[in-house]
Structure 1
Amino acid sequence: MKNLLIAVLFLVCTQISFAQTDPYVETVKQYLTINGTQEQYEGAIDAMFTMLKKHFKDAKVSEADWSELQSDKKKQVEDVKSILVSAYKAYFTLNDIKNMTVFYESAAAKQMKKDASKLTNVQRQQIGNFYDSETGQKMIASKDGLAKIEGEISMQWSGELYKSVLNKLLEKGYSLN
């Protein structure tokens, strides 16, 4: 398992250097924005800072320092999206990612994400048609494997982010005591 994570991280390092020119990387990152993944990571960062602010309440960390620490949020989310590209590359072609992006941009998928109980019959049919497609079948087949890799990446990323912010707080002279 650890070897898989090391391999994924190695691939990421290679891919990050090509991120500006590789259409696959940019397409996956766009997809991760549209499908709600970016929003989830932004929420995770916000939750981490809420927790840290509670833990460091007695340390009286200045709002300026909190703002400075949180100013990296966009970069941190872009970094994890770049890392996630390698997980998607293991399962999907560029064409698959484009198909998935088109699907998630549709009114049916947006409604599915917002409130599936309010889907119309036409929207249900559109969603069914997508999942019956080759790309949809790949999504279904890869769900567990992809979720496992994404979970490992998320754990590693969030742990590193937490340690980084904690170290910055300590460097600024704040402590939990």
Structure 2
Amino acid sequence: MKLLYALLLSFSLLTSAVAQEDGYVVAVKVCIENNGTLAYYDTVLDAMFLDFKTEFQANNIPDSVWKIVEKEKEYAKNGLATMLSRAYKEHFTLQDLELMNELYTSKAGRNMLQNRSLSKKDKAYLDRFYNSATGKKIQNTQREMSASLRRLAKIWINNTSNQVAEVLSEKGYSF
């Protein structure tokens, strides 16, 4: 009976940890959507797929196959948040991410991200945020985060490229 209780407790703790991790990844995905990172990597994906189409042009691949290949974009975008969450997790809590998301969706945050002129009210809001504990974490970890994000993005791009090549190979097409 004790073994059963131990197994049930272990399962509930594991389920709780997985659910918490999923919430963290979701918060990272929202964050990279809000701060423009996902839009940037969307253009990276578009360029990658254009390169594949150019590279495979001689193979006369039908549009129906390209539509199947294009589905890899969605998998890749979902995987990006999971991968980048590793870098965020080293420095930021879930609460930090929630505060970042509040910033990025605020009028001041949107103006900041879009390089629009900032009102006095916007500047005051941004000053308060960047003087907060979360804001200071962002400032203090910026160099390390940028390096981690670049490293993870390279891995993500390589993995995505390999996956697209594999899908094309499975359909009978090669370089």
TM-score range with shorter-chain normalisation?
0.7 to 0.9
Q: Deviation string for 1:127-171 (max 9, x for gaps)?
A: 222112111110011111111111111111111111121122233
More displaced 10-residue stretch of structure 1: 120-129 or 154-163 = 120-129
Residues 1:49 and 2:49 aligned together: yes
Task: Please identify, of 53-62 and 141-150, the stretch whose mean Cα deviation from structure 2 is larger.
Answer: 53-62
In the TM superposition, what whole-angstrom CA distance separates every residue of 1:53-94 from its partner, at most 9, and x where no partner exists?
Answer: 112222211111111101132221111201211211110112
Distance between the aligned counterparts of 1:39 and 1:171, measured in 2?
29
How far apart, CA to CA, are the structure 2 residues paired with 1:133 and 1:54? 48
Q: AA paired with 1:46?
A: D
**Partner in structure 1 of residue 5 of structure 2:** none
Question: What corresponds to 2:148 in structure 1?
Answer: 149
- The letter for the 1-side match of 2:128 is N
What is the number of equivalent residue pairs in this alignment?
A: 160
Shift of 1:98: 1.2
Partner of residue 158, structure 2? 159
Gaps of 5+ in 2: 1-13
Match of 2:59 in 1: 59
CA distance in structure 2 between the partners assigned to 1:170 and 1:25 by the alignment: 31
Q: Distance in 2 between matches of 1:130 and 1:37?
A: 20
The aligned runs of 1:34-45 (5 Å cut-off) are: 34-45=34-45
Partners of 2:72 and 2:164 within 8 A in 1: no
Counterparts of 2:75 and 2:161 in 1: how far apart (Å)? 15
**Contact 2:72/2:163 (<8 A) preserved:** no
CA contact (8 A) 1:20 1:26 kept: no
Give the aligned partner of residue 84 of structure 2: 84
Note if contact 1:19-1:25 (Cα within 8 Å) is conserved in structure 2: no
| % identical aligned pairs | 29
CA 141–100 in structure 1, closer or farther in 2 if over 3 Å, else same: same
Structure 2 vs 1, CA of residues 20 and 140 (structure 1 numbering), >3 Å: closer, same or farther?
closer
